[in-house]
Amino acid sequence: MRILSGIQPTGQPHLGNYFGMMEPAIRLQDEGEALYFIADLHALTTVHDPEALRRNSLEMAIDFMACGLDPKKATLFRQSDIPEVTELAWVLSSVTPMGLLKRCHSFKDKTGKGMEATHGLFSYPVLMAADIVLYDSDVVPVGQDQKQHLEVTRDLVVKINEAYGEETLRLPEPRIHAAAAAVPGLDGQKMSKSYHNTLPVFGEDKPLRKAIMRIPTDSTPLEDAKPTEESTILALYKLVASAAEFEQMVADHENGGVGYGDFKKRLFEAYWEYFAAFRRHRNEIAADPGEVTRILQDAATRAREIAVPVMDRVRKAVGLR
């Protein structure tokens, strides 16, 4: 089984990225041949500061390893190190109906928030499909928000295979981890870098404590029972607390007598503790950025060994060779 996923180097990874994608991907590194990449070509659609893109790409690789990605088990590479991916994206573009891309939420969301409607942003799902099929991927671990992009990928595989032969591209399956498919942000919307509502995995103590203390809550008096449905505090606590701690917090909501300030303190403590070992691991890795660069380069060589024959097969199938 070949497992593949990517993450954009657009800023610090947060709890949504971690529980929705990174943690499931890291678990899968023991179950098959795992290929994970830093999607710098995708990030180029929104990051136009070259220094920031370079820095974020390296930092994201460090973050992923600090969270448990083992470069001996999984191949961790930079998307742009494999030039075949843009060639394959063009081949896929040539069979992609405009309507399929027009229906994609991510383009509508981003331009709706004022981002310029560039061609890169519009054709983003085609490049993502190329990322996936270039490595004959079987399984793609992602959060719920990427489901539509996987559907586009599968549509394009079917179209190519109908036109050029069933053996041309492999059909991938999304793997969406139900318990963390859509982690809420501090404001209750989906946690996302672009909504400024995140809890970063590697944030700093004081600002994060403050951010958690600012989670909006209702005005139920301290002594009364508090609603457990649609509670951001409970949803986040469930991810970072033990089952017993979580049950206790639910009971304290139901019985009343405990205030939101107390729940928020517990949430901060559990969150801080959950990532403590990762923070230590991160400091060790970050001490030798040269080694991280070497890991990315070696991985690119391995990824290319897979990509080159697949691209050859596609060139022959479509008549470019």
Considering only 3-11, 69-77, 91-99, 293-301, which stretch makes contact with ligand ADP by CB under 6 A? 3-11
Catalytic entry in 159, 190, 238, 265: 190
Cα(255)–Cα(78) distance, integer angstroms: 51
H/E element holding 62? helix 50-66
Catalytic residue list contains 72:
no
We find the least distance from the C-beta atom of residue 191 to ligand TRP, in angstroms, to be: 13
Closest CA to 23 of 174, 142, 107: 142
Starting at the edge strand that comes first in sequence, how are the strands of the sheet with 173-175 ordered?
74-78, 33-38, 2-7, 139-141, 173-175
Q: Which of 193, 209, 264, 282 binds ligand ADP (CB under 6 A)?
A: 193
DSSP state letter for 14: B
Q: Which of 34, 47, 142, 295 binds ligand TRP (CB under 6 A)?
A: 142
Q: Which of 39, 156, 186, 285 binds ligand TRP (CB under 6 A)?
A: 39
Catalytic residue list contains 147:
no
Residue 59 or 168 with smaller CB distance to ligand ADP: 59
Catalytic residue list contains 316:
no
Q: Which of 93, 111, 192, 220 binds ligand ADP (CB under 6 A)?
A: 192
Cα(300)–Cα(292) distance, integer angstroms: 12
Residues 6 or more apart whose Cβ sits within 8 Å of residue 98: none
We find the least distance from the C-beta atom of residue 138 to ligand ADP, in angstroms, to be: 17
Adjacent-strand bridge partners of 78: 38
Rounded alpha-carbon distances, angstroms, from residue 145 to 50, 133, 183, 195, 294: 27, 19, 11, 14, 32
Cα(269)–Cα(226) distance, integer angstroms: 21
Q: Which of 35, 41, 60, 142 binds ligand ADP (CB under 6 A)?
A: 142
We find the least distance from the C-beta atom of residue 28 to ligand TRP, in angstroms, to be: 12
Name the residues that contact ligand ADP, by CB under 6 A.
7-8, 10, 16-17, 20-21, 142-143, 145-146, 180-183, 190-194
- Which residues would be at the binding site for ligand TRP (CB under 6 A)? 4-8, 39, 42, 128, 131-132, 140, 142, 146, 149
